[in-house]
Structure 1
């Protein structure tokens, strides 16, 4: 892109000619930028329209999560272990297929101690069941490994189902979290159904 040099002081018509030329170039540049943005928007809409119905439905479902809390893996593929937290979806970009999420309650060891934002691919996000709709939750049987929010935190860990809500006639699972030993035994902890999701394939803990 050509850079304009600063104007030197001059008198008479030469200064006005330079100003007129600069204004014309700026107007032309503005028109070009507007045209480019329109073409990009049309291209993006065209790309989305060419997607299969199932993919379009998936993108719509992702976009509908804006403002909702979801489970998110915030560690990279090369990390020694996966770290999952409860985050809030700020927006979803249909073009890049990425979520922008906000960790509203980062741990005390986080730098700055404030809220943190992440951009994550679809594969790092798991929606929670709806609180007011138990039928939206998977029915995990006893012995099934799941990912669940540890009581009193916003972190999710691997756990084993001891008893599902329907057997207990409540809205809570009874779970045993891995590495949660007390006096040599794993305590059983009650976790609401809407804080329990399927354990991702290849989970590292």
Structure 2
């Protein structure tokens, strides 16, 4: 966990160039807090490790001397301490993730203002764009419930957005647009503006080669997930096998119909999907990996 947070911090530091003085001050303060929290987490982990060592030793004594109730009683106390330590570490990790989110928000806002995001004004090489999209998916926050009673929120994994949800400026969405040939395609786009009077979005195609801006109704927009689902705790928030979905085809910025072959088994794994492809005898491509970020519900029926 600490290594993951350090990696997050390093990635953030590499993107600080071009920030204003006020933005740099905000990030510096948040980074200072982040460092303090990491130190606090290290102290908690040392204390927790010491308790776990005592627990293992007490387990051994309980097995070697089962007639002595003292060790069983001591073991119960050690388990209570371990649970308390785990909750303390969880709270610290959540604080650290909140700081990372705040820092990213400042950087993202700055990038939108300066044209360094996914906007059409930025010249991004195809390889660099694909790498950015992959990183965007890999760093999508993971939903971690605080208790067994926590309900998986909308826009986590396969859970759709609420009917009245409006995507924010800078959010990535799937957009159904009409091409010059008259065909309609689902593309990856960035929200520029939403007009509440007309209920229409203004979006940019993130593909630099297209440089297109579109005005689309809400029914032509599907917001992408804002959090990843953990298969261990939120299996219901993942598309099950054989579900018809729209998935971003690897190394492209377009969504195509696909069938889920295998959902992720861990929080780090991606979906294995079969894209509809008439060039294959069975009508589907070999299995390809697609991150949770770019797999969304397809409301159309499966082709026969």
TM-score grouping bracket, smaller chain normalisation: 0.5 to 0.7
* 1:126 maps to which of 222, 229, 241: 222
Q: Which residue of 1 aligns with 2:68?
A: none
TM-score by length of 2: 0.39
Alignment of 1:1-205 (within 5 A): 58-59=163-164, 61-62=165-166, 64-75=167-178, 82-105=184-207, 113-130=209-226, 132-134=227-229, 138-166=237-265, 170-179=268-277, 181=279, 186-201=285-300
CA RMSD of aligned residues (A): 3.0
In structure 1, list runs of 5 or more residues that go unmatched.
Answer: 1-56, 107-112
Max radius of gyration: which structure?
1
Q: Which residue of 1 aligns with 2:9?
A: none
| Contact kept in structure 2, 1:180 and 1:187, CA below 8 Å | no
Greater share of helix residues, 1 or 2?
2
For residue 83 of structure 1, report the CA deviation from its aligned partner. 0.5
CA distance in 2, matches of 1:169, 1:201: 28
| Contact kept in structure 1, 2:228 and 2:292, CA below 8 Å | no
Figure out how many residues of one structure are paired with residues of the other and give that number. Answer: 135
Q: Runs of 4+ in structure 1 displaced over 2 angstroms?
A: 132-138, 168-171, 180-186, 200-204
For residue 66 of structure 1, report the CA deviation from its aligned partner. 1.4
In structure 2, list runs of 5 or more residues that go unmatched.
Answer: 1-161
CA distance in 1, matches of 2:214, 2:202: 6
Q: Matched residue of 1:74: which SS?
A: strand
Greater share of strand residues, 1 or 2?
1
TM-score by length of 1: 0.57
Q: CA distance change for structure 1 residues 170 and 178 in 2, over 3 Å: closer, same or farther?
A: same
Q: CA distance change for structure 1 residues 169 and 199 in 2, over 3 Å: closer, same or farther?
A: same
